[in-house]
Structure 1
Amino acid sequence: MRVIKIMTVLVIGSIGFFCCKTKDNTSGQQQAKEKQISANEKKFITSFEQWNQTLEPLVSAHRGGPYPGFPENAIETFQNIVNQTPTVIECDVSMTKDSVLVLMHDRNLDRTTTGEGAIKEATFTELQQLTLVDNDGNKTSFKIPTLDEVLAWGKGKVLFTLDVKRGVPYDKVIEAVEKHNAVSYAAVITYRIQDAVEVHKLNKDVIISVSAGSEGALEQIEKAELPVDKLLGFVGTRQPEKSHYEKLKKFGIRTILGTLGNLDKSAVAKGDDNVYLTYIENGANIIATDRPLEVVKVLAEAKK
């Protein structure tokens, strides 16, 4: 298998589907906005095997693309986006006291649910008594989903990148991915090279997101001899030099730029969403963002 150590160059295109805005209470206005993305622009890509066949950038919805009325890490939020546009869903995998894998970003339940306390101290039965809260603090009727439910729902609809939270065993996540035959559409996010190696040992076909924002990170990837066709290189949440993208391209690794946080906020503050086009031009294959609607809109307009 080709690995970075032998510096094999793969010709890999970026993916061509976008995440769009979810619905809020102003349904009439929202419907008008949804029409901005026409049906012929909906190019559903539902497996990583299709990934290499496209030449357009990918927009990844951080925490599933929450908007007013739709909380993060909820199946209803994912469905709301899929109703409007093809997408990739980035979501967070946590574990309950009784070892059930569920979606939750925070260690505690306080911010995103009607409950309180650490998720690791609550059983799944107890979690089912709660409902999710959107980012404006509004209660919804939506429940905390299990990873099993999410993977079953997503088959044939989306790609996933699974952010495995601290303390969650990778073998349990891979077990769930294999159970649902989701290897073709569910990638696993890692932050340490040893975790990437562990995931690859558990299943050699799983796509793995690895930290690739520095020279040191690239050296670690090379030494680990991981197959480049199974890697996504996360370059961080700051725009790297174009030369860094070029190095990753020579390695054959597709790249993810996280605009979530400061880069998204900067675009809002400056009123300049065209900056996302610059990120793509510099070499980002995937934009992981808290503003999926705004990013997909500017990319769609650039294609006209």
Structure 2
Amino acid sequence: MKRILLGGALLCATITGFAQSGTHVLKIKNAKQLREFFRYTGNDIPFVSGHRGGINKGFPENSIEAFANTLRFTPATFEIDPRLTKDSAIVLMHDATLNRTTNGTGKVGDYTLAELKKLRLKDLEGNLTDFRIPTLEEAIIWARGKTVLILDKKDVPFEMTAAIIKKHKAEGHVMVTVHTAKEAKWYHERNPEIVFEAFVKTQKALEEYEQENIPWSHIMAYVGPDNKPELKPLYANLNKRGVMCMISAAPTYDKLPDAADRAKAYRAVIEDGASLIEADRSLEAGAAIRPLVPAKSPKKKFFVTRK
């Protein structure tokens, strides 16, 4: 495998192995298919989830433009960060303040949606772009038929999150992050179609989800940021329940200074038992794990390239 160079948005297609002339979409039409997509089979296609929507040069985090750019190079889901505005709209913004990622200042919650829409987003190097802050609703509408959005837990009340998913009949392409089994139970009792990215970092947490009667068919398990041998028993227990497991490289392997070391670490995450990687460097991670895609898989029907 060639040394991977992240030279910005136009990561070389000869490295990634993916064509730049199309869009890599996840062909998932409804919640039943989403549950099938995340069901562990032992012969699944590894893929990436873009942390904060994927963070690549020229494309700001939590922007629809960043999602679209990533899908030009690799299939992906996207973890995004919904936050409330002063007038109770829901926008995408990781931080509680605007300073780092926009040309605005102060708290997101001190501005109306109209005021926020006047701001411009910065990329990861702090360069100002022409891209604007999207609403969650805009992202949900855009993502249908293309990808899956995973809503992180910020300051949006559960009631509002459940309501917007129901309004858009988005259970087939919008997932909810839950930190505990009780949070999952809250959503599941109100909408049994919702699929979760669930924090299941320990055997104790696994048992808590079972005690709350959360169906394993509705769970993709986040097991932590470190690829460590101690995860093997947890992988086995989750996999036998049909659950895929995810490691987030954002606080760990994404920060390695050398591109070759990052690629090696991404591949090791999949080789050691995880089914997908959440990464800031979505293009690099997608390129690194491409050689691990099996020649045949029951999941191939979900991975489509559109011209």
In the alignment, is residue 179 of structure 1 matched against residue 167 of structure 2?
Answer: yes
After TM superposition, the structure 1 stretch with the greater mean CA deviation from structure 2, 250-259 or 133-142, is 250-259
Distance 1:78 1:42 in 2: 11
Match of 1:263 among 253, 265, 268: 253
Contact conserved, 2:16 with 2:288, CA < 8 A, in 1? no
Alignment-mate amino acid for residue 44 of structure 1: V
Contact conserved, 1:22 with 1:70, CA < 8 A, in 2? no
Deviations 1:100-142 (A, max 9, x none): 0110100111111111111112111111121111111111111
In the alignment, is residue 232 of structure 1 matched against residue 220 of structure 2?
Answer: yes
* Equivalences for residues 138-287 of structure 1 within 5 A: 138-165=127-154, 167-240=155-228, 241=230, 242-266=232-256, 268=258, 271=261, 273-287=263-277
After TM superposition, the structure 1 stretch with the greater mean CA deviation from structure 2, 51-60 or 200-209, is 51-60
1:132 paired residue number: 121
CA displacement at 1:225 relative to structure 2: 1.1
In the alignment, is residue 113 of structure 1 matched against residue 102 of structure 2?
Answer: yes
Residues matched between the structures, number: 279
2:304 paired residue number: none
In the alignment, is residue 299 of structure 1 matched against residue 280 of structure 2?
Answer: no
2:54 paired residue number: 65
Match of 1:75 among 39, 64, 69: 64
Distance 2:181 2:266 in 1: 29
Q: SS of the residue aligned with 1:205? A: coil
Contact conserved, 1:22 with 1:65, CA < 8 A, in 2? no
Distance 1:215 1:272 in 2: 29
Higher relative contact order (CA 8 A, sep 6+): 2
Alignment-mate amino acid for residue 281 of structure 2: R
Deviations 1:255-296 (A, max 9, x none): 111111113224737725223222212221111111222222
Q: SS of the residue aligned with 1:198? A: helix
Q: SS of the residue aligned with 1:90? A: strand
Distance 1:46 1:116 in 2: 39
Deviations 1:208-232 (A, max 9, x none): 1111111221222121110110011
RMSD value over aligned CA atoms? 2.6
Deviations 1:53-90 (A, max 9, x none): 87211211111112111100011111122233322111
Distance 1:65 1:275 in 2: 18
Distance 2:22 2:109 in 1: 42
CA displacement at 1:235 relative to structure 2: 0.2
Unaligned runs of 5+ in 1: 1-20
Percent sequence identity over aligned pairs: 33
TM-score, structure 2 as length reference? 0.82
Distance 1:267 1:255 in 2: 26
CA displacement at 1:22 relative to structure 2: 9.2
Unaligned runs of 5+ in 2: 1-5, 29-33, 296-307
Distance 1:93 1:155, change over 3 A: same
Distance 1:283 1:267, change over 3 A: farther
Match of 2:17 among 36, 53, 72: 36
